[in-house]
Structure formats: structure tokens, C-alpha cells
Amino acid sequence: MKILVTVKEVATVEDEFEIEGTAIADQYLGEDLNEWDDYAIEEAVQLQENGVADEVVTVTIGPEDCEQTIRQALAKGADRAIRVWDDALEGVDLLDVGAKRSILQEVIAAEDPDLVLTGVQSGDDSWGATGVSLAEELDYEWAAVVNHLEHDLDDGIAAVRRELEGGVEELTDVELPAVLSIQTGINEPRYASLRGIRQAQRKPLDVQTLGDLGVDESAVEGAVTLTDMYEPESESDVTVWEGSADETASELGELLRDKGVAP
Amino acid sequence: MSDVLAITDHRRGELRDVSYEIITAGRELADETGGDLHLAVISGTVDDFAEKLDREGVDAIHTVSDGEEFNHGVYTQATTQLYDELAPQYVLIPNSVNGLDYAPAVANGLDLPIVTDVVGVETDGETLTATREMYGGKVETTNDLEGPAVVTIRSAEWPQAEGTGDASIESFDADIDEDDLGSTVNGFEEVAGGDVDISEADVLVSVGRGIEEEDNIPIIEELADALDATVSSSRPIVDNGWLPKNRQVGQSGKVVTPDVYIAIGISGAVQHVAGMKGSDTIVAINTDPNAPIMDIADYAIHDDLFDVVPALTEEFQ
Ligand SMILES: Cc1cc2nc3c(=O)[nH]c(=O)nc-3n(C[C@H](O)[C@H](O)[C@H](O)COP(=O)(O)OP(=O)(O)OC[C@H]3O[C@@H](n4cnc5c(N)ncnc54)[C@H](O)[C@@H]3O)c2cc1C
Ligand SMILES: Nc1ncnc2c1ncn2[C@@H]1O[C@H](COP(=O)(O)O)[C@@H](O)[C@H]1O
């Protein structure tokens, strides 16, 4: 069985930052492997270690800069990686759900995996929609927000738990091939070992353009246009205690005594 | 094409709050497009649900009686067929866990753009402008799209619709292709039980990712001991296995309303806030003065928890 994992490098923001146009100014941004995708990679690698999967492939839409992040996934045990990038993607400030779907669908169609694992959402722009959209397009089954997967995958069925609101889980059987969006907490993502990191340098990382995939350039423009970004107006009337830790702690101590909740 | 179709959400016999909120959001949009607000309720005791959903501002309610509980295949097929029949401009779907399990499929199948988790939405009839957050709520963005679209709305952003309406209630005969239902829901399970019920506590000392390591958790426990309070946490702490699931506050954990909630190294992501915003007094200890938790905090200390927490513990020892 082949598993494909979609892996995104997300942007992180420093505490203090400035906005330039419709983006946060570059110098305040960092990068990280998307938290949800880290759990998806771990799930795939465990399926491989258990002998259920024989190949784990990652795919990322992103510029060359994100190869570090991709190598992390390889160091954790994925076998090879695909990175999609193109000049046409360079100036696009928002890749909407439709645009990502049109690119990733071609990779999945070519790889023909039995199982696709995505994260529940991107930590930075939180659409939460790529996995289900892909499944619908490719005629795969799907399940969103999966926090448990039975590893036998017997009879072409993935037995999963979907994490609903309020501490309730839904027990669901999903026919393969399927796309599952993976929730944090499903497993304990490993740290890459030194050996893993060394090996990752030699694993294949194949770069493809839109042309290679047969994706029309117009598809990546998407239907949704980002028109503004701003810091939300705070409606709060928060009282901020200033001073040394001892001073602020004693303010808080006083509040707790005033409320009659402190001993 | 100027109508709005909003799909409601229910589970185990109960309509969820967002079903009443989506009426308010839908009515606002329908007023702007000059069209009608259609609601749909799919699966379960739909007649009973429809009666409850008949609140002010709803023009029509369509009931689809196939199925008992949520199944994304049934919801996708029924919503798609309702769209074909009613030709609305916008389809609104709750941004719930179940909403995320079918809204993208509806959009993709109908070749419509989708914008998710919106906290505000307006239209001039042609261009829809959706407001959504990025970077865990640190910034907001506006996003434009033309023509019909699927929009998922964040819960607890719009007030629940009130009053009694005079909507027409009609059963919609969806043609559900059973062969196309590739997933089967076998049941539900309540998790997060156990000996501690954080929703009973008067004071919660709640710890988030700012604590950095499992080895640091004891400083939180010492504070809770000194204050005679209970320890709770945000999700990553539970995901990491540093505290048990029954300590988790939030959308997928517990909803708590203590007298005092002390959020320590917690950023205030929407799914966390959903579980604690009803607390009487909220205190945030966070190095980031811009953390979204500050928007709902009553008191704040913009400082390092590793300095403030031990100082506070000392006060009470
Ligand atoms: C479907 C779904 C369901 C979810 N359900 C839940 C849920 O039930 N509950 C929940 O909590 N989350 C839930 N989440 C996750 C949520 O989106 C956030 O990822 C999570 O709440 C973040 O936890 P945090 O605030 O502890 O961590 P972070 O967002 O990483 O914040 C850490 C904070 O600590 C501060 N900090 C760092 N160092 C220090 C220091 N030394 N002193 C003081 N402050 C410091 C930082 O400034 C930052 O604000 C859910 C997500 C999804 C997609
Ligand atoms: N640029 C990308 N490259 C690869 N995978 C992505 C990308 N964007 C999103 N995904 C995948 O889709 C999931 C959901 O993302 P989103 O719908 O953007 O919130 C993520 O967890 C990733 O697994």
C-alpha cells in the first residue's frame, strides 16, 4: 500500500510585527512544518513500520526555501518527496482551496496512492478544506478531523474516529482509497534521529512545475482574492498590571483575595 | 440568483447552537442580496427540528428525512440537489467539525469557490467580502470573490436568531445514491471522563504551550496547590501527553465557567476560547501583548510565566 502525505511549510509570526499591504512584512516571519502535518507524517511512518504501507511519499506546494522542512519529513521516515513550484506561483499571495486542489489532484492522480493523509488545517491560514476537496475531486472517500486510525486497514476499510466537539468521538468506517485529515494528538510525532537526518539528504526530492503536472496556469489564480490584512480592533478593556514579576504577582494575589477565592 | 441557503447542524437529537446563529448570518446576507433565506435540515427528526428552526427571518425550511445522524455523503448529495433546485447565490454551512467534512465536497462538486471559517461576511449582490483570521487570530483579512459561493461560518460569531417565524416548511425529496456512500457511522463515544471535572472548579490555573516542557508542569501544579485551585490546559499540553484529556479546555475538550480562569502561556486560539470565554474573570499571563487571549482577558500580565508563576506561588505559601 502506498501512502501520500501532503506537507505544508507554514509561516510563523513574531510577537511584534508589521503589515505591508496584504502580508506580514518578511522580517517578522519564520517557518515551520505545519503542526497537523507532523502528526500525519508520523501516522504514515507508523503504518509503514507496521508493515501496512510499503511506501510513504510527501508532496508540498512551495518554493525552494521550504526544502529544509521537506527534509524534516524525510528524516522522520518518509521515502521520497515531491515539491511543486512554478514561476506562476511566485506572485500569488493567496493559494485558495480550489488552486491547491487543482495542483495536488494531479500529483495524487499520477502517484495513485491508496491512502492520502493531510492535516486538519494549515496553522497559518486555517482553511481546513484541502483534504475533503481533493477527495471529492478524485472520487476518493474521506474523513475530516481524524484522531484515531486502526492500523490493520483490513478489507479495504479504514476504521477511524472523528473528533467532534465537546469530547465526543464518532466511530466511522471509511472505504479506501481515502483522504483522511489528521488531528493533532492522534500519535506522538517523533524527533528525527541523526541517522534519519543524514539519510534524508540522500532521499529523492523531485521538483515539478505546473507544466510537468499539466496544470493550467490560470488554475492557480483561484477565485478568492485577498484584499486587506489588519490587526483586529481590540474591544477589550483589559487591565494590564505593570512592573516586576513580584509586583504583578502581588496584584494578581490581591485580586484573588478580593474575589474571595484565594486561601 | 439572490437567495441564500443555510444548512443546519444537529447531533444525537439536538440542534446545535450554530444552527440558530446561521439564521442570523443568512438573514443578513439575504437582506443584502434582496433574496429569501432558505434553511435546510438534513437527517434525524427533521419535522421537530424544522419547528424549532422556524424563527424570525427564515422564509423557507426544507427537510430531508434520509438518515438519522450526520453522514457526509448524505449531506453532500442533499445539499447539492437543494442547490440545483433552489439556485441560491450563497450556501452557508457551519464551520463545525461536520461542516468541514462536507462543505468542501459540496463546493468542489458544484464547481463553486469556498471560503471557510468566516467571522464576517457582506455582499453587494455580486462581490462577496468575507472576513477571516490568520495566524491564530493575530490578524484579520478580507477576501473577495465574485458570484455564487459556499461559505462556512465560525460558531459563536453571530447571535442566535430569536422569535417565531412563519416560514414555509416543505419536505425535500432528495435522491440519495446509497452506492455512493463510502463511509458508515457506527456510533459515538464520550471521551475525557475520569476523576477530575474541571467544569466544577471555582478557580482554574490553566497552562498552555508557553510552558515549553513537561518538566516545567510542576510549577503550575505548585501554584494550583497554593491557591487551592484546579489545573487545566490548552490542547497541545494534552496532545503531548503531559496532562490527561479531562484537563483540556476548549471546543473538543470541556466548557468551563469558573470564577477565575488564569491562562498561563495560552495564546487564545478560537477553539480554546470556545471553552472558557464564559468565565467570570479571566487573567492572562503571556509574554505577547498581542496574543488574542488579551481580547477577552479582564486582567493581564505581559511577562514571562517562569518569573510570574513562582512569585505568585510564593505569595500563598
Ligand atoms: C478542530 C480543532 C479543535 C481544537 N480543539 C481545541 C481545544 O479543545 N482546546 C484547545 O486549547 N485548542 C484546541 N485546538 C487547537 C488550537 O487551534 C490551538 O492550536 C491551541 O489552542 C494552542 O494552544 P496554546 O495557546 O497553548 O499554544 P500556542 O498557540 O502555541 O500559544 C502559546 C502562548 O504562550 C506564550 N508564551 C510562550 N512563552 C511564554 C513564557 N515564557 N511566558 C508567558 N507566555 C509565554 C506565547 O506568547 C503564546 O501566546 C483545536 C484545533 C482544531 C483545528
Ligand atoms: N501548500 C501546500 N502544500 C502541501 N500541502 C498543503 C498545502 N497547503 C495545505 N496543504 C495540506 O492541506 C491541509 C489542510 O490545509 P488547509 O486546507 O490549507 O487548511 C494541510 O494540513 C496540508 O496537509
For residue B14, the model assigns a pLDDT of 96
Determine the Cα–Cα distance for residues A77 and A45; give it in Å rounded to an integer: 6
- The nearest CA of chain B is from the CA of A79 a distance in Å of 26
**Beta strand pairing status for A157-163 and A168-175?**
antiparallel
Identity of the residue in B105, B287, B316 whose CB atom sits nearest the CB atom of A15: B287
pLDDT digits (tens, 9 = 90+) for A161-189: 999 999 999 999 999 999 999 999 999 99
A18 in reach of chain B (CB within 8 A): no
**Beta strand pairing status for A178-182 and A115-119?**
parallel
Ligand 1 atom with least separation from CA of B209: 26
A13 in reach of chain B (CB within 8 A): yes
Determine the Cα–Cα distance for residues A106 and A108; give it in Å rounded to an integer: 5
A209 in reach of chain B (CB within 8 A): no
Nearest Cα to Cα of residue B192 among B242, B272, B252: B252
For residue B248, the model assigns a pLDDT of 97
Residue A124 Cα distances to A8, A35, B269, B295, angstroms = 10, 10, 12, 20
A124 in reach of chain B (CB within 8 A): yes
Residue ranges of domains in chain B, CATH in brackets: 2-180 (3.40.50.620), 198-316 (3.40.50.1220)
Which ligand is closest in space to the CA of residue A131?
2
User: B 265-284 residues with CB below 8 A of A?
Assistant: 281, 283-284
Q: Which residue among A4, A31, A33, A34 is best mutated to probe the pocket of ligand 2, counting the most ligand atoms within 8 A of its Cβ?
A: A34
User: Which residues of A are less than 8 Å from B151 in CB distance?
Assistant: none
Determine the Cα–Cα distance for residues A132 and A130; give it in Å rounded to an integer: 6
Which ligand is closest in space to the CA of residue A34?
2
For residue B196, the model assigns a pLDDT of 84
* Chain mean pLDDT for chain A: 96
- For chain A, give the percent of residues with pLDDT over 90: 93
For residue B1, the model assigns a pLDDT of 73
Long-range contacts at B75-78 (CB < 8 A, ≥ 24 apart): B75/B7, B75/B42, B75/B43, B75/B102, B75/B106, B76/A136, B76/B102, B76/B105, B76/B106, B76/B109, B77/B174, B77/B175, B77/B176, B77/B177, B77/B180, B78/B40, B78/B42, B78/B172, B78/B174, B78/B176
Count CA within 13 A, CB hemisphere, residue B68: 6
Sequence spans of domains, chain A? 2-220
Determine the Cα–Cα distance for residues B60 and B4; give it in Å rounded to an integer: 10
What is the reported pTM?
0.97
A31 in reach of chain B (CB within 8 A): no
Measured in whole angstroms, the distance separating CA B191 from the mean position of its chain's CA atoms is 19
B60 in reach of chain A (CB within 8 A): no
Evaluate whether ipTM surpasses 0.85. yes
For residue B260, the model assigns a pLDDT of 97
Compute the distance from residue A130 Cα to the ligand 2 centre, in Å: 6
pLDDT digits (tens, 9 = 90+) for A217-262: 999 988 999 999 999 987 778 999 999 999 999 999 999 999 998 8
pLDDT digits (tens, 9 = 90+) for A67-117: 999 999 999 999 999 999 999 999 888 999 999 999 999 999 999 999 999
Which residues line the pocket of ligand 1, CB cutoff 6 A?
Answer: A 120-121, 145; B 97, 136, 208-210, 234-236, 248-253, 265-267, 269, 271-272, 275, 285-288, 291, 304-306
- The span from the first CA to the last CA of chain B, in angstroms, equals 67
Find the residue in A nearest to B244 (Cα).
Answer: A185
Give the residue, by CA position, lying nearest to ligand 1 atom 38: B210
User: Which residues of A are less than 8 Å from B251 in CB distance?
Assistant: 165-166
Cell numbers of A103, please? Answer: 495542483
State whether CATH 3.40.50.2300 applies to domain A2-220. no
- The nearest CA of chain A is from the CA of B271 a distance in Å of 10
What does each of the 317 residues of chain B score in pLDDT, given as a tens digit?
A: 799 999 999 999 999 999 999 999 999 999 999 999 999 999 999 999 999 999 999 999 999 999 999 999 999 999 999 999 999 999 999 999 999 999 999 999 999 999 999 999 999 999 999 999 999 999 999 999 999 999 999 999 999 999 999 999 999 999 999 999 999 999 999 987 777 899 999 999 999 999 999 999 999 999 999 999 999 999 999 999 999 999 999 999 999 999 999 999 999 999 999 999 999 999 999 999 999 999 999 999 999 999 999 999 999 98
